[in-house]
Structure 1
Amino acid sequence: MLCLPSCFIYLLEENAMAWKFKRWSWLRIAMVLLLLALLGWGVKAIFFPSKAAPQYTTAKVAKADLESAVLATGTLQAFRKVDVGAQVSGQLQKLDVELGDRVKKGQLLATIDPELAQNEALNAEASLEGLLAQRQSTLLQLEQAKIDLARQHAMLSREATSKQAVEDASLKQRTLQSDLAQRDADIKKAKLTLDSFKTRLGYTRILAPIDGEVAAITTLEGQTVIAAQQAPNLLTLADLDTITVKAQISEADVMKVHAGQAVYFTTLGQPDKRYYGKLRAIQPTPEKVNNAIFYNALFEVPNPTHALRQDMTAQVAIVLEHAKSVLSIPTIALGAKAKDGRYTVRVVGVDGIAVDRQVKTGLNNNVQVQVLDGLKEGDLVVTGDAALGKSEASVTVGG
């Protein structure tokens, strides 16, 4: 009876050792399997790498307004600009306007000392009055000569005088008639002289020849102007209600432009505001700038608020073609051109793989190109292959 517990304890110890052995065997098997799996994955990664899905930079086919234009740099000028000068010499007595003033045609701008011109006019007027008096005296003498000649004829009919006396009376009458004609000619000349001096007197008042703005003042009050050879400039008036734009077109582009084309420009101060016009003319004589040939294209735009000023720089676009709300893609997406004029474009499908497609194009402004057929709105076209392994490799443009 005493050996039973001992036997029982022995059996328990034997079973525990067997269980520990079995557990260790299963653990070794699991570790071996795990090592084999890791080894197989490494071999596959080295010798049979999986292909990563290609990544592209893309752009979405979308509708847009396109235009093709000749770009140029221009300057703004007043539509009309007049240098107001003096036609008589003298001291500038008074200047009635200031820089920037708006004036109307006929408005008084300045006054030149009128004393000299006024004296000349008074002298001419006195000379004319003297000639008129002389004419009146000659006219009275002529009337008396006519009476004397009639009397001599009456006396000759009664043989109360001689033919010589009649001839003398007739000669005196003709002489006085000739003198009267000379007086009339002198009076006419004197009137012209007086009118000239009066005109010169009027020139001492400088009036505005046009509606405009005082753009420059070159002569100040108190200065003496001399108009012996040419009219000295006193000030400049500019009509800024309309602005002329003079755009310089390169000789490479001048063959593309002509009068009547739509044109617009922006200024440095308002780059987002467009001013529209129509090309009026292209000057035939070119200008050479740093050995480059440019032709001046001219057009006008209204300027009622005078926001546009002289000599501003204008960024000008002369529109060659225009297409509104058409399908377009970046020109960089175009591939090789076929003989029929179509281009190859790579289009990304739903599986992320790009396939070639032939498209027909229209207007091309070297940035965007019109798509006439071969694509539909929303398609993604490839604009470039992105480098693998970069987080920013796939970029969608225009989405």
Structure 2
Amino acid sequence: MRRWIVFGLPVLVAAVAIAWWMRPASPAAKYVTAPVKVGELEQRVLAIGRVQPKTLVSVGAQVSGLVKRLHVSLGQQVKAGELIAEVDAEPQQTALRTAQAAVAALKAQLAARRASLAQAESTYRRQEALMALDATARAELEAARAALDSARAEVGALGAQIEQARTQVDTARINLGYTRIVAPMDGVVVAVVTRQGQTLNSFQTTPTIVMLAQMDVMTVRAEIAEADVGKVKPGMPVWFTTLGDTQTRHESKIAQVEPAPESITQDAGSALTAAAGGQGANRAVYYNAVFDVPNPDGRLRPSMTAQVTVLTARESKALLVPTAALGAVDAAGKTQVRVLDAKGDVAQRDVHIGLRTNTTAAVLSGLSEGEKVVVGETGSDPAAANEGESGER
């Protein structure tokens, strides 16, 4: 008896252990599940943008010449009408004096012609009186009339020449004023393009001397991918951070989504290449979403990189499930999920889905809070379940 206990008991224990290990698993142990939770779901579009001043003006010179003096420096705050630079005005002053002298000369000629006109009028009246007395020849009267008409025409022509010369005086005076470049608005000098002593040539293009910007309001142009541009509308909330300050969130609303990408301005050859399926056809397309943001403290600077988030949709107090639990969703948002009950049985359930993201979906009908939906089976990657339980806020 003792020998049986010594040798038989271990064999019995081993048999019981093997039987327990080989027992059929419960149905619930075959599935990875996630509970239906109540929470907030947001749909967002991410983009990269560039910060620029809302108002940026290139201040240039409209005359050619040497920059004699530059009155501003980089970063300086200027007021509208404040002197920016002076261009050598000697050529313009000479042109003004020449135009004024031309007007004076024409006025002198006009005075002489008027005297001739008075004499021609007197001669004609005398010949007319003599003709009435039949004391002169008709040829003399006609000659006097021709001389009078010629004198009047010369006076009229000189009057027109004087008006033209006065226009040249006005032009020369305006060009002289262009040698003093003043600020067109209040702003900050954000770039000094032309240095003191540099010679300007305005015959082909207007040379830029400085660039002025109003920094109290900045504009962000965010590049929205082609796949997301249909989701972004004017008025949607938007916020961004900069690379140098990821903790400060600047908030605004979308003002405009530009109807065409910037690439539309490229030459026709590139467009034809893309249409023909060439290399340009595979290029990524981005549309600019534009919005303004206040900058009272000046922390935002031109050309900063903005990490932009656009809130395209939000549902509060929604029933949330992982998208991994969903079957194929039709255009009306209807699909099926597998639900695990308290007994470990799995059943198909028709549900109606609303807002969706890559990881989470909002259930409009068909489920209740606390129910467990199947997101996978034992042995599959449970990451989907973990993501589904975390949700998006």
Same fold (TM over 0.5): yes
Shift of 1:204: 0.7
Alpha-carbon distance in structure 2 between the residues aligned to 1:308 and 1:395: 36
Instruction: Give the gaps of 5 or more residues in structure 1.
Output: 1-27, 388-393
User: Could you tell me which residue of structure 2 aligns to residue 16 of structure 1?
Assistant: none
Using structure 2 for the length normalisation, give the TM-score.
0.77
Shift of 1:223: 1.2
Shift of 1:183: 0.8
1:260 maps onto 2:251 in alignment: no
Alpha-carbon distance in structure 2 between the residues aligned to 1:396 and 1:155: 121
Structure 1 contact 286–293 (Cα < 8 Å) conserved: no
Mean Cα displacement is larger for which, 91-100 or 55-64? Answer: 55-64
User: Could you tell me which residue of structure 1 aligns to residue 337 of structure 2?
Assistant: 344
Alpha-carbon distance in structure 2 between the residues aligned to 1:152 and 1:41: 158
Structure 2 contact 47–224 (Cα < 8 Å) conserved: yes
Report 1:177-192 matches (<5 A). 177-192=152-167
Residues 279, 319 of structure 1: CA spacing in aligned structure 2 closer, same or farther, 3 A cutoff? farther
- Find the partner of 1:299 among 290, 302, 313: 290
Structure 1 contact 286–296 (Cα < 8 Å) conserved: no
Alpha-carbon distance in structure 1 between the residues aligned to 2:321 and 2:235: 26
Deviations 1:267-291 (A, max 9, x none): 3344451443233323256379995
Residues 322, 294 of structure 1: CA spacing in aligned structure 2 closer, same or farther, 3 A cutoff? same
Alpha-carbon distance in structure 1 between the residues aligned to 2:322 and 2:387: 14
- Find the partner of 2:73 among 82, 98, 118: 98
- Find the partner of 2:364 among 372, 375, 378: 372
Deviations 1:208-236 (A, max 9, x none): 34444322111111111122322222122
Mean Cα displacement is larger for which, 56-65 or 148-157? Answer: 56-65
Mean Cα displacement is larger for which, 315-324 or 286-295? Answer: 286-295
Q: Percent identity?
A: 32
Report 1:1-399 matches (<5 A). 39-49=11-21, 54=29, 59-254=34-229, 256-257=230-231, 260=234, 262=236, 264-269=238-243, 270-271=245-246, 273=249, 274-284=251-261, 286=263, 291-305=282-296, 306-334=298-326, 341-347=334-340, 349=342, 353=344, 355-356=346-347, 358=349, 359-381=351-373, 383=375, 397-398=389-390
Structure 2 contact 238–254 (Cα < 8 Å) conserved: yes
Deviations 1:127-179 (A, max 9, x none): 11221222123223322322332233223333444434333332222121111
Alpha-carbon distance in structure 2 between the residues aligned to 1:98 and 1:348: 75
Using structure 1 for the length normalisation, give the TM-score.
0.76
Structure 1 contact 354–382 (Cα < 8 Å) conserved: no
Matched residues, number: 364
Instruction: Give the gaps of 5 or more residues in structure 2.
Output: 265-278, 380-385
CA RMSD of aligned residues (A): 3.8
Shift of 1:184: 0.6
What letter matches 1:298 in structure 2?
A
Structure 1 contact 259–280 (Cα < 8 Å) conserved: yes
Alpha-carbon distance in structure 1 between the residues aligned to 2:163 and 2:175: 18
